Amino acid sequence: MKKKIAILGASGYTGAELVRLIATHPGFEIAALTGERKAGQPMAAVFPFLRHMDLPDLVRIDEVDFAAIDLAFCALPHATSQTVIKDLPRDLRIIDLSADFRLRAPAAYEKWYGKPHAAPEIQREAVYGLTEFYREEISTARLVAGTGCNAAAGQYALRPLIAAGVVDLDDIILDLKCGVSGAGRALKENLLHAELSEGTQPYAVGGTHRHLGEFDQEFSLIAGREVQVQFTPHLLPMNRGILATAWLKGDARQIHAVLSQAYCAESFLQVLPFGTVPSTHDVRGSNFVHIGVVGDRRPGRAMVVAALDNLTKGSSGQALQNANLMMGFDEGMGLMAPPVFP
Amino acid sequence: MKKKIAILGASGYTGAELVRLIATHPGFEIAALTGERKAGQPMAAVFPFLRHMDLPDLVRIDEVDFAAIDLAFCALPHATSQTVIKDLPRDLRIIDLSADFRLRAPAAYEKWYGKPHAAPEIQREAVYGLTEFYREEISTARLVAGTGCNAAAGQYALRPLIAAGVVDLDDIILDLKCGVSGAGRALKENLLHAELSEGTQPYAVGGTHRHLGEFDQEFSLIAGREVQVQFTPHLLPMNRGILATAWLKGDARQIHAVLSQAYCAESFLQVLPFGTVPSTHDVRGSNFVHIGVVGDRRPGRAMVVAALDNLTKGSSGQALQNANLMMGFDEGMGLMAPPVFP
Amino acid sequence: MKKKIAILGASGYTGAELVRLIATHPGFEIAALTGERKAGQPMAAVFPFLRHMDLPDLVRIDEVDFAAIDLAFCALPHATSQTVIKDLPRDLRIIDLSADFRLRAPAAYEKWYGKPHAAPEIQREAVYGLTEFYREEISTARLVAGTGCNAAAGQYALRPLIAAGVVDLDDIILDLKCGVSGAGRALKENLLHAELSEGTQPYAVGGTHRHLGEFDQEFSLIAGREVQVQFTPHLLPMNRGILATAWLKGDARQIHAVLSQAYCAESFLQVLPFGTVPSTHDVRGSNFVHIGVVGDRRPGRAMVVAALDNLTKGSSGQALQNANLMMGFDEGMGLMAPPVFP
Amino acid sequence: MKKKIAILGASGYTGAELVRLIATHPGFEIAALTGERKAGQPMAAVFPFLRHMDLPDLVRIDEVDFAAIDLAFCALPHATSQTVIKDLPRDLRIIDLSADFRLRAPAAYEKWYGKPHAAPEIQREAVYGLTEFYREEISTARLVAGTGCNAAAGQYALRPLIAAGVVDLDDIILDLKCGVSGAGRALKENLLHAELSEGTQPYAVGGTHRHLGEFDQEFSLIAGREVQVQFTPHLLPMNRGILATAWLKGDARQIHAVLSQAYCAESFLQVLPFGTVPSTHDVRGSNFVHIGVVGDRRPGRAMVVAALDNLTKGSSGQALQNANLMMGFDEGMGLMAPPVFP
């Protein structure tokens, strides 16, 4: 029998992406979709691309019968998520796609998000959702915290290298190129087509992007010492995709060997032949990550480049992969569709 | 047991789209991929987005053992296709995605393509591949001729209206807005990003576009008299998608009723509520067609707008839908994935 | 001595485009820029691309000393414009870029804009700003009403044809392809990059677009009888540009001759050789209009295609051209810069 | 009297950009345009956006009467340029936009371009064309070698910092985001719209990009020691623009002070307020460079970001600025038009 799921916050891009992916998943059935401001509307009115599907109308969260739900995806805005999850049944299994439960330490949360956490006791229980590195914990978790999309891209490029000690931990630079859907369906001037197409600029400069909190937490944990990377994202005229260019000090061949070894058994993590670089075009709409390693003319310098789709592997695809683990399904179920190119 | 298929001409966009769709199809197995100029290369070198798949390397057509093939998709260039198919085993079932077998009359072929057909005897045997209107013939056909992508878009908007006699047959205007992948992976100056992005222009003007041959053939057949539409496509800065705007004389409500009735049982053809118009965004990467009907302030004038993805429903998705029929599978198998938005 | 100008509503795209064009104009000096919500800010904060210019800060309209102003451009939102202009000095020469003074008849205004005009006495005095057809009136006008951008594109394609009686007046179809800047710097979901890029759809369907009021007014005046065209715009993933495809009944060669004759002395209106069609790429950022005429395989059918930049010739460039006339400058002064390609 | 100029290689993007800029330049007159393969054609056939201009037809180089030419712009492909210039009159003043004369040392040329220089004696005489740093030499030069567009972007960000010794010379990383017109009007698969739009990837990885030869030459000269930066460009879905993100070790405030001081008298080089970053949107189509400096949460780390238009300041605008110097005109003549936004 299919597992019944609810998607809270189904009127945003990550919520819609979950519906898209679950549409062809044999093990899940969408039992409830919520959207506070759009409650009462059919999903086809909010996302006409889902018109052909037989979906429940959007309702308010308090209208959902959670007793009939096996798993809830929470695709609500940051800060809202923690106040909603606090009041959900304590035995409901939840995958949260917001930033609210990614940082384990209350102080870290407060530092990066500017106020105390509203549900610190739940915060402690959350498992960090980077599937390939937290499989065991995720499969038994009650609450999984989906990672930041930039945080996912950077970690796929770097975690095995930090663990293996093959790069200089004090000199990691992450220059990210990001598609606009990562900012959500938000009415902001800088997200307008007229402001964005045919040009690029950095944002969240100066070491202020909140995904740094995730990098700090995870990389320091792996290294057993404090690691602080330099990271600045750039907004690109493309809807989907993150290209993470990591500038590193280390031996490029060794780096390639470590990544190849670490990911050789992973379905979704594809390490390219040495010297080959990925393109976001080649992962669009899919759960795959392409990772390339190149050296430099100067020995001891290397570049690792990782490409993923922020809405899929960086968010909703990752969430579904985790849901598969939590429900005992094959981890890749419903996620093997190739990218859409061109 | 899975049916074994070959894709001839797998190094182009429609070939790659076939691979993408078949990747999650439970009934087909890709047994051979050909590409004359790229023979010997792995598919991942030609289309890195397919890197994660376990695919046969590209070979030359003469290297394929067609005895082991249940069905061949022929995604070769126009004119090449007829010379290749002529020499394939006469009992091999084939779906041709080129323009070579769309026109039944040798004279019509010669008129629109500028030279006599190289395989007129096979031309006669081909079934026109617009699935919803040729289901029976397709299911038993040996050779199915996939339609032009523009021709598909226009016909979905118009066939039921012509059959029902609810529009003025002498005054049908089709103004199409077309994505660039319809032109294939061709090295032409006007297909460069720098020439194409951020602007638009008409092409194949003056009643010269070859898909007019298909419109003439089909619409005249339905109407039982000669019908010649006016049709001009415009090239838009988008990779996928065709928006067909049909300017018609007829009663808009009646037109809507006829289309709704005609397509009410069709999985892939979605008629929108009266007065609502479709967007190519909402069908991208999928096999769905969205069709809208609006009236005008002047009574007796109407606009029908159809949106589809040229590579999917306009070409490779249509081909797979036909393959399902030919192999006795459920018609929608492997084709129900929602569009990719945004 | 330079003429002193004020730009009211300089925080929108048409206001900024005026600044861009005037930057290299030898006869005008920008004396005041207004923006109610952004009053007090330097222009560089609102439009960083103007950073290198020495411009006055934005102020509120009531802070402008209009006694020192020779000409005011009014780039305010529709409806706001009429209430502001009503209270400006009655001897101030004004070019309004909004829709407020385009329709001469109060009833027509009320019909298309849904409420009575707030300044009907001024409405009567306004001259319609389509330069090439209202030169004399514009040069002596106190108040010039800039045309709608779509209205300009359609009229350049059609006015001489209607005047010459060479097309069927009851069967004019205008299928427009429009860039997104025509919608202004507005925070609307459908203007987001993620919603707009890589796709297209019609809008303002069913004969509801307000620029129809201008077409009705002007074409009926020219024809000496009521003329109602069918017109629907489509939103394209491009920032600038309108391509107006006019589907006509008439002799294509005759149509070409009439347009060539009508525009042979016009600097900005370029009629292409017969059978050649324009591209919005080729007018981007400029005041030029490219117009092409093609026949059809069916005699008596023709297509006229006009391309212009909505922000330049469709709005701010037109306004500057009119300002040149009003101030006694050469009409093309500051407007001869070629388009920006690619 | 106007100076007569010739543009050799006017059928490419940099040649067309020269025509665009010179169109409104009061001191220059275009006397000859060449294009070997397109000789005999009017410029309007090759670049319809220049249709309104009264330009000479394209001719072959050997048809040009160089005795009547005051200055020749050479916008020919790399390698071709040196063989052509070798045979031009030795007293003709030339600005070369190719890569052929950028490197002074024959060994450096051979290293980066893979074969010996065909005109080493002329190579020695060429002056490097980065205007703000070679003004004196340029004004009296016979042959000026325009810089690489990426090389220009990187040098504007870095030269004053290297000269002042305020950054670690052994740890300079340049991560560039580049528009596609930098690759020219070349028929390459990776430049097609379908391959390029909506995604990004690095290219010329591993310290292999030829503009590194320019960086090495110039930075080592300034520093008085060998300096080798790490530099990798990324191809973005935009036609114009380069965003150079320089990752540096140094004090961000000091870096900002040095750049502000160095460029305070420069018309085209705009240093933004500390902590503000530029966008390529804000320089498109113009000769301006916007430069921003930000610190990092880690002291002693900084990011300098420079934005310019590769076709204008990175190539043809730079060439015109140098031409102004060579002909004794005001350096900014014809170059003060603001960027085109949006």
Instruction: Give the CATH number of the domain where residue A165 resides.
Output: 3.30.360.10
Q: Determine the structural domain holding residue A205 and report its residue range.
A: 149-309
B53 and B184 inside one domain: no
Examine the predicted complex and report whether its ipTM is higher than 0.85. Answer: yes
Contact C337 D23 (CB under 8 A): yes
**Distance separating alpha carbons of residues C7 and C17, to the nearest angstrom:** 11
Domain membership of residue D162 (yes or no) is yes
Average pLDDT along chain A: 97
pLDDT tens digits for range C142-179: 999 999 999 999 999 999 999 999 999 999 999 999 99
Question: For residue D231, what pLDDT is reported?
Answer: 98
Question: For residue B1, what pLDDT is reported?
Answer: 85
Sorting pLDDT into bands at 50, 70 and 90, what band is C138?
A: very high
* Phi, psi (rounded to 5 degrees) for D257: -65, -40
Contacts of B339 in chain A (CB under 8 A): 20, 49
Q: Is A149 among the residues known to form the active site?
A: yes
State the chains in contact with B (3 or more Cβ–Cβ pairs under 8 Å).
Answer: A, C, D
A214 and A274 inside one domain: yes
Question: For residue C308, what pLDDT is reported?
Answer: 98
Angstrom distances, CA of residue D240 to CA of C180, C194, C339, D97: 19, 21, 14, 17
**Distance separating alpha carbons of residues B114 and B111, to the nearest angstrom:** 6
Average pLDDT along chain B: 97
pLDDT tens digits for range C67-124: 999 999 999 999 999 999 999 999 999 999 999 999 999 999 999 999 999 999 999 9
Residue B28 pairs in a beta bridge with B3
Q: Which residues of B are catalytic?
A: 149
CATH number at residue A92: 3.40.50.720
pLDDT tens digits for range B145-182: 999 999 999 999 999 999 999 999 999 999 999 999 99
pLDDT tens digits for range B285-308: 999 999 999 999 999 999 999 999
Average pLDDT on A192-214 reads: 97
B190 and B83 inside one domain: no
A167 and A280 inside one domain: yes
User: What total number of domains does chain D contain?
Assistant: 2
Contact D48 C290 (CB under 8 A): yes
Question: Beta-strand (E) ranges in D98-257?
Answer: 127-128, 143-145, 173-178, 201-202, 230-235, 242-249
Question: For residue B283, what pLDDT is reported?
Answer: 98
Which residue of chain B comes nearest to A277, CA vs CA? B48
**Distance separating alpha carbons of residues C302 and A269, to the nearest angstrom:** 55
C128 and C156 inside one domain: no
**Distance separating alpha carbons of residues A291 and A260, to the nearest angstrom:** 9
D282 and D319 inside one domain: no
Question: For residue A134, what pLDDT is reported?
Answer: 98
Angstrom distances, CA of residue B100 to CA of B72, B91, B97, B113, B144: 15, 19, 8, 9, 11
B289 and B262 inside one domain: yes
Contact A338 B53 (CB under 8 A): yes
B208 and B110 inside one domain: no
Contact D24 C336 (CB under 8 A): yes
Domain membership of residue D61 (yes or no) is yes
What residues of chain A have any CB closer than 8 angstroms to a CB in chain C?
Answer: 13, 180-181, 185, 187-189, 191-198, 237-239
Q: Which of C192, C235, C236, C280 to mutate: most A Cβ within 10 Å?
A: C192
Contacts of B52 in chain A (CB under 8 A): 267-268, 270, 288, 338
Sheet with B289-295, side-by-side order of all strands = B201-202, B230-235, B173-178, B242-249, B301-308, B289-295, B269-271
CA D125 to chain C, closest CA, distance in angstroms equals 33
| pLDDT at residue A180 is higher than 90 | yes
B139 burial class (0-12, 13-18, 19+ CB within 10 angstroms)? Answer: middle
D153 and D140 inside one domain: no
Question: For residue C1, what pLDDT is reported?
Answer: 85
Sorting pLDDT into bands at 50, 70 and 90, what band is B247?
A: very high
Domain membership of residue D332 (yes or no) is no
Sheet with A58-59, side-by-side order of all strands = A58-59, A28-34, A3-8, A71-74, A94-96, A143-145, A127-128
pLDDT beneath 70: ranges in chain D: none
Q: Which of A38, A4, A1 is nearest to A16 (CA)?
A: A38
Give residue B20's Cα distance to chain centre: 16
Q: Tell me if residue C286 falls in helix, strand or coil.
A: coil
Q: Which of A260, A333, A340 to mutate: most B Cβ within 10 Å?
A: A340
Question: For residue D104, what pLDDT is reported?
Answer: 95
Q: Tell me if residue A11 falls in helix, strand or coil.
A: coil
Query: Which residue of B13, B187, B196 is in closest CB contact with D193?
Result: B196
Contact B239 D193 (CB under 8 A): yes
Query: Which residue of C23, C198, C281 is in closest CB contact with D337?
Result: C23
Domain membership of residue D168 (yes or no) is yes
Domain membership of residue C204 (yes or no) is yes
**Distance separating alpha carbons of residues A229 and A218, to the nearest angstrom:** 11
Sorting pLDDT into bands at 50, 70 and 90, what band is C201?
A: very high
Question: For residue C302, what pLDDT is reported?
Answer: 98
Question: For residue B163, what pLDDT is reported?
Answer: 98
Domain membership of residue C334 (yes or no) is no
Contacts of B238 in chain D (CB under 8 A): 197
Sorting pLDDT into bands at 50, 70 and 90, what band is A178?
A: very high
Query: Which residue of B13, B239, B339 is in closest CB contact with A49?
Result: B339
Contacts of D238 in chain B (CB under 8 A): 197
CA D224 to chain A, closest CA, distance in angstroms equals 19
Question: For residue C156, what pLDDT is reported?
Answer: 98
Query: Which residue of D201, D202, D206 is in closest CB contact with A296?
Result: D206
CA C90 to chain A, closest CA, distance in angstroms equals 36
Name the token pair of A112.
């990066």
State the chains in contact with A (3 or more Cβ–Cβ pairs under 8 Å).
Answer: B, C, D
Contacts of B203 in chain C (CB under 8 A): 277
C-alpha neighbours within 13 Å on the C-beta side of residue D70: 15
CA dihedral (C34, C38, C41, C47) positive or negative: negative
Which residue of chain D comes nearest to B47, CA vs CA? D195
Q: Tell me if residue D21 falls in helix, strand or coil.
A: helix
- Name the residue with tokens 């990210």: A176
C252 and C269 inside one domain: yes
Q: Which of A35, A88, A27, A87 is nearest to A58 (CA)?
A: A35
**Distance separating alpha carbons of residues B131 and C86, to the nearest angstrom:** 62
Percent pLDDT > 90 in chain C is 100
| pLDDT at residue A1 is higher than 90 | no
A236 and A222 inside one domain: yes
pLDDT tens digits for range A49-65: 999 999 999 999 999 99
Name the token pair of A264.
């050789």
B134 and B168 inside one domain: no
Domain membership of residue B196 (yes or no) is yes
Average pLDDT on C298-312 reads: 98
Contacts of C284 in chain D (CB under 8 A): 49, 340
The answer to whether the CB of C228 falls within 8 A of the CB of C218 is no
Strands C3-8 and C28-34, bridge-based pairing: parallel
Which residue of chain B comes nearest to A185, CA vs CA? B342
Domain membership of residue D336 (yes or no) is no
**Distance separating alpha carbons of residues D52 and D71, to the nearest angstrom:** 24
Contacts of B179 in chain C (CB under 8 A): 198
